[in-house]
Amino acid sequence: MPFKSRQRGISLIEVLVALLIFSVGLIGLAGLMVMAMRANQAAYQRTQVTFLADGMADRMRANALGVWRGRYNGKDYPVPGTTNCERAACTSASLAMHDRQVWSSLLTAFLPDPAAAISCTTASSYIPTADQLTRRPPYGGHCAMTISWSERDAGDASHRDTARQTFAWEFQP
């Protein structure tokens, strides 16, 4: 009989050790899930940045006169305000301002603490005349766009640091 009671104690110790190992595994899995969620959020933000940059480049391609006249250039993104291009005809300048404001609202909606800058320079070999500008020639220069935002690093809610991320792109609209 004493042998059976000793056997029961060993079974209990085995169960407790197995439970301890299982618990440590679950804690590691929980940490892994938190890191995966953080990486997923960072990837989502980077995807949004690429879509936003491409969207603004498309807007600029549609308003070549505004690009030629430097209406998209600026380091002050996001730009506040609204224009009334939906209900009335716009000039190239007002369309550029409308594009800047719409893009700014998208930056603010999809990115935490966004900042952006666009700088377009013309090639010195081709500068169209005023008459050519009204016929919308292709842009003969290149543009540089930078978008930056804050990305959360590791840490609990009271000690969470943020790192500034920057997306830089040179393109020809």
- Polymer length of the chain: 173
Mean pLDDT of 79-97: 80
Tokens for 106? Answer: 């998208």
Could you read off the pLDDT of 1-36 as tens digits, one per residue?
555 555 556 788 888 899 999 999 999 999 888 888
* pTM (global) more than 0.75: no
What are the sequence ranges of the domains in the chain? 2-171
Place of tokens 């004493």: 2
Share of the chain above pLDDT 90, in %: 36
d(CA 140, CA 125): 8
Coil, strand or helix at 120 = strand
